[in-house]
Amino acid sequence: MSSNKKIILHIFQRSIFLKQYLDLLVKTDSEIEHVFLIYGTDWHTGQVSYPEYDDRFKFIDIEPPNSHIRLDKIYASNVRLLLKKCNLVIVHALHTSSIIFLYLHPYVLKKTLWLVWGEELLYYKGGDKSNAIQYYQRRFVQYIKYILKKLLIKRIKYVQSTSTEYNIIKKYYSSKILPLSIDCRYGIISIDQRHTSNSGHTNIVIGHSGFPTGKHIDVLDLLSKFKNEDITIYLPLSYGFPEYIETVKYKAYSIFKEEKVVILSEFMNQGDYYTLLSKMDVGIYNAENQTGLGNIWALFLSGAKIYLNKDGINCKIFSEKGLHFYSVSSIASQSYIGFREFDTKSSQNNVYISKKILENESEAIRQWENIFNLN
């Protein structure tokens, strides 16, 4: 480790987002030394390391894949030395493992930046009540986690989030944490513009993962009135809760003919996935939390028609950007033609705004370098 370089310490879960971030980060200032404390299992690809970047970045496991957080790794001498020397700690989402880590090293909070991820700000109230004991145990654990997180956030110096999320943080967690007016992204999104067809066929994608927060069942019920129309429903379910994924599959097949349902069970590489999304006419995202932003942005960029949960954070985020979309609940009163048609002016508006935000790699790099230069 060079004593002359600025040191940025990242706490990051193994995921496709880490891989995308490294692809972008490698193009930033090489005089900054980046060290990643990584934890968890990559739900998306099963990758346990990123060997192509071993020469540029340093990776330290604090929680090996398919394991639990290790106190011997958290308190290792090299980790403690890094925490003392680093200029900035960036915690990419306050997941359970990162919360534990920060509680065990509270002195770094004064130089910590929290980057908010979508599921963090949703206190999930759903769940199966058939087993009352398990249900209330889960609710109790959620509440304890909320309290621990709230106490932690009060001591973190910076937060990077959308303005919608920051308002939630101020109200429920801390009014003192300093917001950053930097719109940082984990990668560049580029996708072909959707080619409209006069055939009447409609490609529909629902959600981006197999978690209950996506409320897939409600969407499938809404679409059931179109079961005799010329549609294909795509369900990305490559990761999430296995039992819930099976429930969604069963529901889709029970309503629609099998040839009208495509289950995406395997995680696709980014290029192939964006090619698939470019063929979608309609995207429906029913989650209340901020999630699936990369997918939604890609569809806006392609000119597809988007439906969002009117009570969700995503709805507020994209409204602030000036994008045109519809409420998921409005599907109940729509005809098939009304459901699928999207006026050219609104589509072009979404493509124009999205291109300005998503395709500027030099701006994305500049924004991250501004973060790395925080005092």
354 and 366 co-located in one domain: no
Q: How many structural domains does the chain have?
A: 2
CATH number of the domain enclosing 81: 3.40.50.2000
What is the C-alpha separation between 126 and 213, in angstroms, rounded? 9
Q: What are 145-165's pLDDT values in tens digits?
A: 888 989 999 999 999 888 888
Check: CB of residue 307 under 8 Å from CB of residue 300: no
Structural domain including 169 reads 6-187+360-372
pLDDT value at 48 more than 60: no
Q: What are 117-147's pLDDT values in tens digits?
A: 866 776 544 555 666 777 677 778 888 888 8
CA separation, residue 125 to residues 57, 62, 182, 255 (Å): 40, 31, 32, 27
Q: Quickly state the pLDDT bin for 190 (edges 50, 70, 90).
A: confident
Instruction: Report the b/e string of 55-75 with b at 16+ CB within 10 A.
Output: eeebbebbbbeeeebeeebbe
What is the C-alpha separation between 372 and 96, in angstroms, rounded? 25
Residue 194 included in any domain? no
Average pLDDT over residues 248-259: 95
pLDDT value at 33 more than 90: yes
279 and 331 co-located in one domain: yes
pLDDT value at residue 128: 56
Residue 193 included in any domain? no
159 and 290 co-located in one domain: no
Residue 156 included in any domain? yes
Residue 241 included in any domain? yes
Q: How many CB atoms lie within 10 A of CB 180?
A: 18
pLDDT value at residue 363: 85
What is the C-alpha separation between 273 and 295, in angstroms, rounded? 9
